[in-house]
Amino acid sequence: MSRTRTGPASPATGPVHEALAGLPLVDHHCHGVVTADPGAERFESLITEGAVWPGSGISPFDTPVGVAIRRHCAPVLDLPRHAPAAEYLARRAELGWREVNRRFVTSAGTDVFCVDTGYAPDRVTTPAELAAVAGDAVAYEVVRLESVAEALAAQGVEPGEYATAFPAAVRDAVRRRGAVAVKSVAAYRTGFDLDPSRPSDADVTVAAARWLGAVGRDGGETGGRAPEPRPRLDDPVLVRHLLWTAVDLGLPLQLHVGFGDSDIRMHRVDPTHLTDWLHLTSGTVPVLLLHCWPYQRQAAYLAAVFEQVYLDVGLTLHHVGPARARAVLEEALEITPFHKLLHSSDAYGVAEFCHLGALAFRQGLADLLQSRVDADELGLSDALRIATWTGRGNACRVYGLPRDGLTEG
Amino acid sequence: MSRTRTGPASPATGPVHEALAGLPLVDHHCHGVVTADPGAERFESLITEGAVWPGSGISPFDTPVGVAIRRHCAPVLDLPRHAPAAEYLARRAELGWREVNRRFVTSAGTDVFCVDTGYAPDRVTTPAELAAVAGDAVAYEVVRLESVAEALAAQGVEPGEYATAFPAAVRDAVRRRGAVAVKSVAAYRTGFDLDPSRPSDADVTVAAARWLGAVGRDGGETGGRAPEPRPRLDDPVLVRHLLWTAVDLGLPLQLHVGFGDSDIRMHRVDPTHLTDWLHLTSGTVPVLLLHCWPYQRQAAYLAAVFEQVYLDVGLTLHHVGPARARAVLEEALEITPFHKLLHSSDAYGVAEFCHLGALAFRQGLADLLQSRVDADELGLSDALRIATWTGRGNACRVYGLPRDGLTEG
Amino acid sequence: MSRTRTGPASPATGPVHEALAGLPLVDHHCHGVVTADPGAERFESLITEGAVWPGSGISPFDTPVGVAIRRHCAPVLDLPRHAPAAEYLARRAELGWREVNRRFVTSAGTDVFCVDTGYAPDRVTTPAELAAVAGDAVAYEVVRLESVAEALAAQGVEPGEYATAFPAAVRDAVRRRGAVAVKSVAAYRTGFDLDPSRPSDADVTVAAARWLGAVGRDGGETGGRAPEPRPRLDDPVLVRHLLWTAVDLGLPLQLHVGFGDSDIRMHRVDPTHLTDWLHLTSGTVPVLLLHCWPYQRQAAYLAAVFEQVYLDVGLTLHHVGPARARAVLEEALEITPFHKLLHSSDAYGVAEFCHLGALAFRQGLADLLQSRVDADELGLSDALRIATWTGRGNACRVYGLPRDGLTEG
């Protein structure tokens, strides 16, 4: 398996950098990559959490992530570092999506992927296809709970049956797909300022009647965006029911936290709003807080005081870029137990993010750990253990993955 | 035009520092400077967002901004760096306000000012006077909306007429003064946790009756401070009406966000509370988030996902001082598109802040960009473009300013 | 008195480091240390704000604070730096608690302790015992207000008498113990999003009847934790009454803010929720915000604009460790007047935290100040003044302590 390429100007290197460069990563949360050439405008829209704003003069390439792509992805496509956006897009089209995907996915050096298959406005790789692109890799599926609920609504369910039909549909999806985890985007739908208690079946029936009735009429609420082609689960009672369904299921639960597109109401997704729910569900399922920025410290607090809470700063790391990845990781790790931080890329659509997410993680974490070793604040063997745990071991333990032979943790 | 003076001990320099040192800035949000010698106590009160606390032993000079004044402003007055406060005040009085203003305003290297004229407890320069002090500069006016409303109330308006009289008064003020933007201090009056929808005329009439009645009685609410000499617009319905009036007007809207005096309720001014309103007003006017600290990451998120949102960290930069300006800019730029960050000083009263705001911005941004160039994370030509956009080009574009000859962006 | 030991690999040193290394500190908020050998599991539970999670594989030693203990405390016990946890625990047991306490408490270099005696699930040193362990030191008591209220409830009080009996009990406790301050853990009980006004006696009577009735039945609410052996004051009206009792008392009031165990609802303890209360109580008692992380910037804002507000980042500094102490202090000091920051360790139970809190404070603050001196952003004499004020002088002034001979401020 090929490893990440380190640029010649990389300022700090050392044994931790070498160890992380050689460590096959577990990407515990990602999506598929597109199986077509996206075209310039679609590519630009895939690299931003905003949108493409034609005529504005504001290009997604003129952002920290755009700069990072031109710096760190251009060389993978045989271009000079910092190649202009137009040259980048031309070369990408020239190589074609199969070769582009192959280069970026293999250069990520990831050999285990946990793939959220519930968001795919584009035609993207299945988990098996993604693993095949990576070469010697495996991919597990993560079931997005809102998608299961929305599919259930689309196929038709009686309100009085919803409280039992939804958990059954989740169990069925998990079994059919061999999923290792479930995921919720409650952050996008209601935020976390919810009544923490388990809703009664009667409450669920009332809420389901309201929601399914609305779905029947207009396709659901979309919070300021154009209506989506399918129903959108955003009823607070049904979101609570969904979270408790995950608790009953017993699999690790991934929760989107913080940074995302304009559909987020950021002030409502501070994960510490989940505190009462975490007390109530203590001793049940692992809860993995994804992305987290700008709430990485709040997520770290929860990971420090609740046994079941884990976090990553995926998505964030490639959006801020390698130039700023260490700074975000420093905050994420201020008080976090070293068994509680995981790696994810949250790559969707463009394979660049597999590469860039892995690179920003490796470089940022290595800079952080090596500098502490150099200052004699951390022993080298401890630094190496923390690197291995974070890049691989913690995910293997939380998800019960078999490919753990490389770790000692 | 004179340029900023760089101290001999400045640690990092390079081409980006040189470019920013030579770039005439657009200060897209400032106020006037006093046209009198302020006296020691008034000077101290002008350099703090707190107050002067006689007898407490706590001096506004014993703060980060006080240290920065003694370090970076003393030499402009021919004093040694780190001159004691008493010497500084004596020398300032000796030179007199005309010479002091001239030195600091010219040393800022700003050739375009956008001046909020709606806050002036002291006798301060008009926009034209400020431009004249700077020499080869121009100044545009920014109309503070609350001041228009309060002037309308003071001169008398019937509640039933307010819903149309206020927009008319704003249009009139904008036309008479040739304003390039309007500004709201809703942050100080209600915070941003408002119903985002446009209030009906009937609702505005009811609210205006309530407010104008209260104004008639006691001069309005002041939220824990001594009553002000004029009515204070703090009714939530009228604040919403004010924001929607800005949308209808079509000019860029500046919003105070975050840091300010004790009249702020910080937890209510997280700008992400504006998310629903930003969805509703998408495609209308540019919204410029001012200052932002400690919510610079939240502001950056909004700038990344909403086409119409921009931000600055003015006011913040001179209060934290050049020693910490880069750190704040690093957070402000983590995910911000490079066309979305602007420079402002928010200088009010003391001309020192024109100088110090410009210096902290130039030094902080140059340190940030040059270090990325040095680490080969950013190309030099990209760094120079970003510097020019941020210091000048972005403001010229947003406000439609003619003096854009220096930029390429 | 022995001074902190500086490791040989300490990266930056200079006159500020030397000055801080030689400055006897005032620890304005700490607790007692255990007077028994705690055993491995109890030791681990004492070094985390989480819990010990048997069978999880997650050890409190595998955290930033665990790494800091192995790095900075092991040498004090004659072990090599980064000694393994098992060796550390064995050596600690071998030396015995008396010798362990003596070494760590004296190495902290603290000669004044302000000791919160209201939290002691273990048998710990009294203030006098702690001062004796330190050698040439004095200790003052801080009365925890909730403990007074809960003791009053436990001994029996009529609801109609509570409004006067509680202030009387506080005055009595303060007088008997010669306390220099009082403390509230309102953050743990209700958060700060409270009606800021003083409750009427009638409201207090109603609330006391409700609370005392509940206490009689079940020992009080515990917010997701196991019931405590004594009543728990968490009624919002009684918490407000408690805070106003502190105002009437006239002593400095310490408030827990931010970081703590899982009983905190972090989103409700942003200290800016106190803004209206701070306006109402302006001119009365000093208010000292403790710990503050992750709200150190919000606390700094309050300290900058309210005369009576002070802050520290105790507890935080040893949990993030010396590797990250400077970063937290940088944020805490961004706009804070230099007379407003204090040192505390918040050490409880393990004497390691006396040592580590002092070391992280000294090293972090010295790195911050010396780097500004080296960059010529701060004069050396100013840096030395700020170091002395922060480590000692500010506390002496706020609490009116007599042992102030070392400071100039």
Between helix A97-107 and helix A85-95 the angle, nearest 10°, is: 110
CATH number, domain containing residue C356: 3.20.20.140
Q: Quote the pLDDT of residue B12.
A: 58
Please judge whether A63 and B297 are an interchain contact, meaning their C-beta atoms are less than 8 angstroms apart: no
Any chains having at least 3 CB pairs less than 8 A from chain A are B, C
What is the spatial distance between Cα A74 and Cα A165, in angstroms, rounded to a whole number? Answer: 48
Report yes or no: B305 at the A interface, CB cutoff 8 Å: yes
Q: Is residue B45 part of a domain?
A: no
Work out how many domains chain B is built from and give that number: 1
Q: Select from A48, A63, A71 the Cβ nearest to the Cβ of B377.
A: A71
Share of chain B above pLDDT 70, in %: 92
Q: How many angstroms away from the CA of C165 is the closest CA of chain A?
A: 33
Q: Is residue B86 part of a domain?
A: no
- Chain C residues with beta carbon closer than 8 angstroms to that of B324: 330, 334
Scanning B200-336, the segments in alpha helix (DSSP H) are 201-218, 236-249, 275-280, 296-305, 316-320, 322-332
Q: Quote the pLDDT of residue C407.
A: 40
Write the pLDDT tens digit of every residue in C177-197. Answer: 999 999 999 999 999 999 999
Q: Quote the pLDDT of residue B13.
A: 84
Please judge whether A319 and B305 are an interchain contact, meaning their C-beta atoms are less than 8 angstroms apart: no
Question: Is pLDDT at C406 greater than 80 in this prediction?
Answer: no
Two tokens, residue B327 = 């750190």
Question: Is pLDDT at A2 greater than 60 in this prediction?
Answer: no
- Chain A residues with beta carbon closer than 8 angstroms to that of C70: 379
Residue in chain C lying closest to A371 (CA): C323
Residue in chain C lying closest to B318 (CA): C335
Q: Would you say A372 and C11 are in contact if contact means Cβ atoms under 8 Å apart? A: no
Q: Is residue C216 part of a domain?
A: yes
Top residue of A371, A377, A381, A394 to mutate, by most chain C CBs within 10 Å, is A377
Q: Select from C57, C64, C223 the Cβ nearest to the Cβ of A397.
A: C57
Share of chain C above pLDDT 70, in %: 92
Report yes or no: C323 at the A interface, CB cutoff 8 Å: yes
Top residue of C67, C269, C329, C346 to mutate, by most chain A CBs within 10 Å, is C67
Please judge whether A298 and C266 are an interchain contact, meaning their C-beta atoms are less than 8 angstroms apart: yes
Q: How many angstroms away from the CA of B24 is the closest CA of chain A?
A: 22
Q: Is residue A65 part of a domain?
A: no
Weakest-pLDDT range from A67-76, A345-354, B400-409, C266-275: B400-409
Mean pLDDT of chain C: 93
Please judge whether B301 and A266 are an interchain contact, meaning their C-beta atoms are less than 8 angstroms apart: yes
- Chain C residues with beta carbon closer than 8 angstroms to that of A338: 62-63
For residues B106-132, give the mean pLDDT: 96
Question: Is pLDDT at C222 greater than 60 in this prediction?
Answer: no
pTM score, whole prediction: 0.95
Weakest-pLDDT range from B239-253, C7-21, C325-339: C7-21
Question: Is pLDDT at A254 greater than 60 in this prediction?
Answer: yes
> Cα-atom radius of gyration of chain B, to the nearest Å?
21
Backbone angles phi, psi at A55, to 5 degrees: 80, -5
Please judge whether B375 and A8 are an interchain contact, meaning their C-beta atoms are less than 8 angstroms apart: no
Name the amino acid, one letter, at C377: E
**Per-residue confidence band for B407, with pLDDT thresholds at 50, 70 and 90:** very low
What is the spatial distance between Cα B27 and Cα B345, in angstroms, rounded to a whole number? Answer: 6
Distances B89 to A401, B80, B83, C381 between C-alpha atoms, Å:
69, 13, 10, 19
Question: Is pLDDT at C284 greater than 50 in this prediction?
Answer: yes
Sequence-distant (6+) residues with CB within 8 A of C13 are: C6, C366, C370
Please judge whether A50 and B275 are an interchain contact, meaning their C-beta atoms are less than 8 angstroms apart: no
- Chain B residues with beta carbon closer than 8 angstroms to that of A65: 335
Weakest-pLDDT range from A48-62, A204-218, B97-111, C26-40: A204-218
What is the spatial distance between Cα B224 and Cα B93, in angstroms, rounded to a whole number? Answer: 34
Listed by number, the residues of chain A in 57-116 with a beta carbon closer than 8 Å to a beta carbon of chain B are 57-58, 60, 62-65, 67-68, 70-71, 81-82
The bridge status of strand C110-116 relative to strand B253-257 is unpaired
Between helix C97-107 and helix C127-134 the angle, nearest 10°, is: 70
Per the model's pLDDT, the better-predicted residue between C233 and A4 turns out to be C233
Q: Quote the pLDDT of residue A10.
A: 44
Question: Is pLDDT at B306 greater than 70 in this prediction?
Answer: yes
Sheet of A341-342: strand order equals A25-30, A110-116, A138-144, A181-184, A253-257, A287-291, A309-312, A341-342
Report yes or no: C222 at the B interface, CB cutoff 8 Å: no
Q: How many angstroms away from the CA of B355 is the closest CA of chain C?
A: 16
Beta bridge partners of A328: none
Question: Is pLDDT at A229 greater than 90 in this prediction?
Answer: no
Between helix A201-218 and helix A159-177 the angle, nearest 10°, is: 90
Q: How many angstroms away from the CA of C325 is the closest CA of chain B?
A: 16
Q: Would you say C393 and C407 are in contact if contact means Cβ atoms under 8 Å apart? A: yes
Structural domain span for residue B113: 15-36+108-399
- Chain C residues with beta carbon closer than 8 angstroms to that of A307: 50-51, 53, 56, 58
- Chain C residues with beta carbon closer than 8 angstroms to that of B65: 335
Please judge whether A58 and B279 are an interchain contact, meaning their C-beta atoms are less than 8 angstroms apart: no
Q: How many angstroms away from the CA of B400 is the closest CA of chain C?
A: 34
Residue in chain A lying closest to B335 (CA): A320
Q: Would you say B198 and B277 are in contact if contact means Cβ atoms under 8 Å apart? A: no
Please give the helix or strand (H or E) that residue B128 lies within, else none.
Answer: helix B127-134
Question: Is pLDDT at C409 greater than 60 in this prediction?
Answer: no
Beta bridge partners of A227: none
Please judge whether B376 and A53 are an interchain contact, meaning their C-beta atoms are less than 8 angstroms apart: no
Q: Quote the pLDDT of residue B403.
A: 63
Q: Is residue B6 part of a domain?
A: no
Sequence-distant (6+) residues with CB within 8 A of C98 are: none
Two tokens, residue A360 = 């920003």
Listed by number, the residues of chain B in 247-266 with a beta carbon closer than 8 Å to a beta carbon of chain C are 259, 261-262, 264-266
Write the pLDDT tens digit of every residue in A111-140. Answer: 999 999 998 889 999 999 999 999 989 999
ipTM > 0.85 for the complex: yes
For residues C243-250, give the mean pLDDT: 98
Q: Is residue B69 part of a domain?
A: no
Write the pLDDT tens digit of every residue in B337-394. Answer: 999 999 999 999 999 999 999 999 999 999 999 999 999 999 999 999 999 999 999 9
Q: How many angstroms away from the CA of C229 is the closest CA of chain A?
A: 20
Please judge whether C53 and A307 are an interchain contact, meaning their C-beta atoms are less than 8 angstroms apart: yes
Residue in chain B lying closest to A66 (CA): B337
Sequence-distant (6+) residues with CB within 8 A of B402 are: none
**Chain B with chain C: Cβ pairs closer than 8 A:** 103
- Chain A residues with beta carbon closer than 8 angstroms to that of B338: 62-63
Report yes or no: A5 at the B interface, CB cutoff 8 Å: no
For residues C217-228, give the mean pLDDT: 45
What is the spatial distance between Cα A402 and Cα A396, in angstroms, rounded to a whole number? Answer: 7
Residue in chain A lying closest to C223 (CA): A276
Mean pLDDT of chain A: 93
Two tokens, residue A162 = 């919803």
What is the spatial distance between Cα B104 and Cα B356, in angstroms, rounded to a whole number? Answer: 8
